Amino acid sequence: MTDASRPTSEITLLGRSYVIACPPEEQEALLRSARYLDRAMHGIHAQAKTLGNEKIAVMAALNIAHELLQLLDERKDQEQGLSQLHARLERALGSGEDK
C-alpha cells in the first residue's frame, strides 16, 4: 500500500489541522485521543499564552503521561489489594474445611 492510498483522518490541535494515517477501525479512538489532547493543550495555552505550540504540546504530553502512570500505579495497587484479599479468603475458607 502506498502512502497516497493509506487511509487518513484529519484532527485539529490548537486550531491547526493535521492529517494522520489511521486505519478506519481505529479512527474513533484517534479522534477521541485528539479531542483529549486538544483540551489539554488549550488548558495549558490559557495558563501561559506566551508558550509556543511545540512547548504546549510537550507540556500536554508530559501531563498526560503523568496521568497515565498514576492510573497504572493505582490499578497495580488495586490488583495487589485484590490478590491479598483473595489470599486471605482462601486461607479463611481453607481453615474452615479443616474443622
Residue 99 in this model has a pLDDT that exceeds 70: no
Overall pTM > 0.85: no
CA distance 29 to 11: 12
pLDDT, mean of residues 57-67: 97
Residue 96 in this model has a pLDDT that exceeds 70: no
Collect all residues with Cβ–Cβ distance below 8 Å to 23 and sequence separation of at least 6: 7
Residue 7 in this model has a pLDDT that exceeds 60: yes
Pick the closest to residue 56 from 67, 43, 66 (CA basis): 43
Residue 97 in this model has a pLDDT that exceeds 80: no
Domain count for the chain: 1
Residue 98 in this model has a pLDDT that exceeds 70: no
pLDDT at 36: 98
Which residue would you say has higher pLDDT here, 2 or 17?
17
Q: Residue 55 belongs to what domain range?
A: 3-97
CA distance 96 to 99: 6
pLDDT at 94: 87
